[in-house]
Amino acid sequence: MRRVVVLEHISLDGVIQAPGGPDEDVSGGFALGGWIGPYTDDVLGTLLRRQMALPFDLLVGRTTFDIWEPYWPHRAAVWPGVNAATKYVASRTRTTSDWQPSVFLNGDVAAEVARLKQQDGPDLHVWGSSGLVQTLMAHELVDTFWLMIYPVTLGSGKRLFAAGTLPASFVVTSCATSSRGVIVVTYERAGPPVSGTQ
């Protein structure tokens, strides 16, 4: 059985939009793209490389796929596994790509992901893909969050935990802090929230 692992660069106020560059995703008038740049260091780089070296298949939304499709095939030395991984793409408009292997999920995405989770194979890693992540969370399909929490607030933009997020509790299974204040933490789903007693 496969797990769904959501991996995100996230600001203190929960924004995950366009961490990598100014033109990555300007939808909604977002003008702060590239906000992770000042926080790069060797500690964060090592943690990222370790995570990227794990066995995985990709599960992404169409926008993330459109950004990655022209980029990663030419950078195999940076992330060798991304080209070999099966790329499952949630899209209502696309059905093919030269970046193989790619499988387009054009129907009921939640049902298709639930089916994928029942199969043998590596975990399904979700990077970016804010709309897809909302769907996965709404159907309780996310098993793990691997978050890089940056010491910055952005005020606006697409948020990881948007309106409609279902109640859930998590346990921390790993945590590290970079020299520039980025907290890298793994949260594993632990069931519904439990109220404290007085």
**Tens digits of per-residue pLDDT, 166-184?**
999 999 999 999 999 999 9
Per the domain annotation, does 50 fall within a domain?
Answer: yes
- 62, 89 Cβ separation under 8 angstroms: yes
Per the domain annotation, does 56 fall within a domain?
Answer: yes
Look up the domain containing 179 and give its range: 4-191
pLDDT band at 195 (very low <50, low <70, confident <90, very high): confident
Which H or E run contains 132? Answer: helix 130-138
Mean pLDDT of 55-77: 95
Per the domain annotation, does 106 fall within a domain?
Answer: yes
**Percentage of the chain surpassing pLDDT 90?**
94
pLDDT at 198 over 80: no
> What local confidence, expressed as pLDDT, does residue 197 receive?
67
How much is the mean pLDDT over the chain?
Answer: 95
Per the domain annotation, does 196 fall within a domain?
Answer: no
Per the domain annotation, does 179 fall within a domain?
Answer: yes
Rg of the chain over Cα atoms, rounded to whole angstroms, equals 17
Per the domain annotation, does 198 fall within a domain?
Answer: no
Which pTM value belongs to this model?
Answer: 0.95
